[in-house]
């Protein structure tokens, strides 16, 4: 469970990014965080992960308050897939990247390799195991980045723009993978069709506050609300032009 209690945050004094934001995400829920550029979606993610700390209010992950003292516990529970997979995959090969997290958390190499094999099998990317990160395509790298997070067996997965810059085939693959994960999922994206496909609930952030919070099927159909927040209806819900 993730809980935001009256959270405010500003990178610069006088320019708040989030103001008095409160919401709760239940276990196994799949939530899409949407909003215009600069609305504060990524900031919400960073606050959950303890990469930033609120100026006011509190953030809880599974009942643990996110603070410097609890970072290790919080981060063990949360897996984060970055928008830029190049920044996520920093080891020479996919295999070494997959082992990095589990080994850091004290898993033996044998156990870690078994876990990595199982995840690669689950995502059907076993062929990538021995490949070099600089030799694989963007789509493969995104899949490998998700795998590197799954090997840590997180109970919460956060994904920042998981389908950005992917071709339709790879986008579909990622959507299927996201749908197949049975953990708490928080996704940020401007790809509202993907959000509609993968999330039951949507939190719309705008002007530093929660503008709407409810079922994805309702919020993503609300054209006025979306347009007021510089968004558009998902393509699948728009009337064909021709």
Partner 1 sequence: MNKAEYTLREFYEMDELADRRSPVHRFSALSKLAVTVVYLFVVVSFDRYDLTGVLAMALYPYLLFAMSGLTFGMCIHKMRYILPLLIFAGIFNPFLDRNVWFVIGSVSVSKGWLSLAVLIVKAVCTVSAVFLLIGTTKIDAICGALRRIHVPSMLVTLILLTYRYMSVLTEEVAVMTDAYHLRAPRQKGIDVSAWGSFLGQLILRSMDRARELYASMLLRGYTGEFPAEKQKGDSRSLIHALVWCSVFLLLRFVPVIRIIGTLVTGGKV
Give least dist CB 203 to partner 1, A: 22
Give least dist CB 99 to partner 1, A: 7
Sheet strand arrangement including 2-12 = 15-25, 2-12, 56-61, 64-65
- For position 241 contacting partner 1 by CB under 8 A, the verdict is no
Give least dist CB 122 to partner 1, A: 18
Give least dist CB 74 to partner 1, A: 10
Letter string b/e over residues 138-151, b meaning 16 or more CB atoms within 10 A of that residue's CB: ebbbbbbbbbbbbb
Residue 237 dihedral angles phi and psi, to the nearest 5°? -105, -5
Q: Where does this chain touch partner 1 (CB under 8 A) — which range of 71-79, 120-128, 208-216, 219-227?
A: 71-79
Can you tell me which of 5, 62, 76, 190 binds partner 1, judged by CB under 8 A? 76
Q: Where does this chain touch partner 1 (CB under 8 A) — which range of 5-13, 121-129, 146-154, 177-185?
A: 146-154
Residue pair 83/164 in contact by the 8 Å Cβ criterion = yes
- For position 11 contacting partner 1 by CB under 8 A, the verdict is no
Can you tell me which of 2, 44, 61, 80 binds partner 1, judged by CB under 8 A? 80
- For position 9 contacting partner 1 by CB under 8 A, the verdict is no
Residue pair 89/133 in contact by the 8 Å Cβ criterion = yes
Residues in region 88-107 near partner 1 by CB under 8 A: 88, 90, 92-93, 96, 99-101, 103-105
- For position 1 contacting partner 1 by CB under 8 A, the verdict is no
Binding site for partner 1 (CB under 8 A): 49, 51, 72, 75-76, 78-80, 82, 84, 86-88, 90, 92-93, 96, 99-101, 103-105, 109, 132, 134, 148-149, 152
């Amino acid at each position: 469970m993730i809980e935001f209690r009256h959270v405010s945050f500003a990178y610069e004094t006088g320019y708040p990014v989030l103001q008095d934001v409160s919401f709760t995400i239940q276990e196994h829920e799949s939530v899409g965080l949407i909003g215009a550029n600069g609305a504060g979606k990524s900031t919400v993610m960073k606050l959950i992960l303890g990469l930033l700390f609120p100026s006011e209010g509190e953030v809880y992950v599974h009942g643990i308050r996110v603070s410097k003292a609890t970072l290790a516990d919080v981060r063990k529970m949360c897996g984060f897939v970055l928008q830029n997979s190049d920044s996520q995959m920093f080891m020479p090969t996919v295999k070494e990247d997959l082992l990095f997290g589990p080994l850091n958390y004290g898993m033996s190499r044998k156990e870690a390799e078994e876990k990595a094999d199982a995840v690669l099998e689950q995502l059907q990317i076993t062929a990538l195991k021995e490949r070099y990160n600089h030799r694989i395509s963007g789509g493969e790298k995104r899949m490998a980045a998700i795998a590197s997070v799954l090997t840590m067996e997180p109970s919460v997965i956060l994904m920042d723009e998981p389908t950005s810059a992917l071709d339709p085939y790879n986008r579909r693959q990622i959507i299927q993978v996201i749908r197949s994960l049975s953990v708490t999922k928080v996704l940020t994206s401007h790809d509202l069709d993907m959000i509609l496909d993968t999330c039951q609930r949507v939190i719309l952030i705008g002007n530093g506050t929660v503008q709407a919070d409810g079922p994805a099927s309702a919020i993503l159909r609300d054209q006025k609300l979306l347009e007021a927040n510089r968004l558009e209806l998902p393509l699948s819900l728009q009337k064909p032009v021709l």
